Structure 1
C-alpha cells in the first residue's frame, strides 16, 4: 500500500497517550498500562480501524492493541477511538517483524490478521504476516490454547497460509472459502472487506488454534 504522506499525522499521534511509540518498554507490562487484568487481543495491520474499534466498543472487558506501520492510517483509528471514548484500545505505529521484542511469552490471548499484503512474488513471501517465520513469533507471544483469526481476499495467499499454519502445528478450527456464505456467526466487516464484497470477491477466513 502506498499512502500520501501527511506531515500532521505523526504529531497528532504523538500527542495522544493511547499511541505507544516505545512499545518495547512495556514488554510483559501491558496489563499494567491498561490498568486492569483483562485479556489482551492484538490486530496486525489495522488499516483505518473500523474492525478494531467495533470490537473494542462491543467488548469493554477485553483490551485491544492495534498495530500498523502507517501514521496516515493510524490517525483515523485514533480519531474514531476517541470519538467512541474507548479506554481499552492502544495503538502501536511499527512494523511487526520483531513482535517478540514487544510482547512477553503468553501475553496475548487472541490475534487478528485481516487483509494483509499478499506479497505474490515468491521472493517476497517472507514478508507475509502469515509466513512461518512470523507464526513462530506469534506462538511465543500467544497464550497456550489461543487463536489466530485470518481473513483475506487473495486465494493464493489463503492456500499458502493454510499450509503455513499446518506446518507450524496450528489446529484449524474453522475454514471458509466464502465467509459470507458460511454459517460463521459474529463477523465484523473491515473497510477492505466491504469493498471486496461489493466487487463480488469471496472472502476467505480461518480460525487457527495453538496446540495446548
Structure 2
C-alpha cells in the first residue's frame, strides 16, 4: 500500500529524536543504557503505526521495547502514539531491518515480534519473507539463549511456510495457535491490522519459537 507523503515528517522526527532514535548503530550493545535500566529488550520488526508496542509497553513496564519501521510516513504515527500514551519504556527506529546485527549485539535481545509481516507470496520473493532462513540466522545471533520469536499473521500460507522454516532451522515450536482469538488470551495486544481482520471474522494465527 502506498503511503501518503508527509512533508513535515523530517521536522517531527528531529524534534522527537528522544523517541525515534537516530544513528542507531552507535547504540549497538548498549541499548539498556539508553533506557537507563537493565530491563530485557523486546523488539518488533515492522512496527507500523505503533498500536501493538504502545499497548505492550503499558502492559509490561518492566520491559524495554524497540519498534523498527522503515516507512517515515508511518513511524511518525507510531511516535505520536508514544507521546500520547506517555510511555517511557518504548523507543522507535526509522530503519530498514534488513540485518538486525547492525543494530543489536549478540544476545542483546530477549524477544522478537513479527506481526502481520508482508507475505511476499511469489516464489521469487521468498528471500524477503521475515521467516526465511537468512533472517532466522540473524535472529539467533541477537537473541539471548532463552530468547523467543513470536509471530502473528492472518495469512495461512505464510504461517505454514514459517512453521516449516522454523522446524528446518532446528527451532523449538513452543506454541502453534490456529485461531488466536478463539482462546480469548487476555494478554494479547492487537495491532491495527489484527483489529481490522478480526472484525471481519478472519482467523489470526500465532506461533512462539526458540532456538
Shorter-chain TM-score bucket reads over 0.9
The residue aligned with 2:35 is 34
For structure 2, the 5+ residue unaligned runs are: none
How far is 1:14 from its partner?
2.0
The residue aligned with 2:204 is 203
Counting only pairs closer than 5 Å after superposition, residues 1-212 of structure 1 correspond to structure 2 as: 1-16=1-16, 17-182=18-183, 184-210=185-211
How far is 1:163 from its partner?
0.8
> What is the root-mean-square deviation of aligned Cα atoms in Å?
1.2
Q: Runs of 4+ in structure 1 displaced over 3 angstroms?
A: 182-185
Whole-Å Cα distance in 1 between the matches of residues 166 and 21 of structure 2? 30
User: TM-score with structure 1 length normalisation?
Assistant: 0.95
What is the CA deviation profile of residues 100-148 of structure 1, one whole-angstrom value per residue up to 9, with x for unaligned ones? 0110000000111100100001111111111111111000000001111
8 Å CA contact 1:176, 1:182 repeated in 2: no
How far is 1:62 from its partner?
0.8
What is the CA deviation profile of residues 81-105 of structure 1, one whole-angstrom value per residue up to 9, with x for unaligned ones? 1112211111001111121011000
User: TM-score with structure 2 length normalisation?
Assistant: 0.96
How far is 1:182 from its partner?
3.2
8 Å CA contact 1:116, 1:152 repeated in 2: yes
How far is 1:21 from its partner?
2.1
- Higher mean C-alpha displacement, 192-201 vs 134-143: 192-201
For structure 1, the 5+ residue unaligned runs are: none
SS of the equivalent of 1:138 reads helix
SS of the equivalent of 1:109 reads strand
What is the CA deviation profile of residues 156-194 of structure 1, one whole-angstrom value per residue up to 9, with x for unaligned ones? 100100011111121111101111113645211111001
Whole-Å Cα distance in 1 between the matches of residues 133 and 185 of structure 2? 26
8 Å CA contact 1:111, 1:148 repeated in 2: yes
SS of the equivalent of 2:99 reads helix
Whole-Å Cα distance in 2 between the matches of residues 21 and 124 of structure 1? 30
Count of aligned pairs between the two proteins? 210
Whole-Å Cα distance in 2 between the matches of residues 170 and 120 of structure 1? 23
Whole-Å Cα distance in 1 between the matches of residues 114 and 108 of structure 2? 17
Whole-Å Cα distance in 1 between the matches of residues 137 and 25 of structure 2? 19
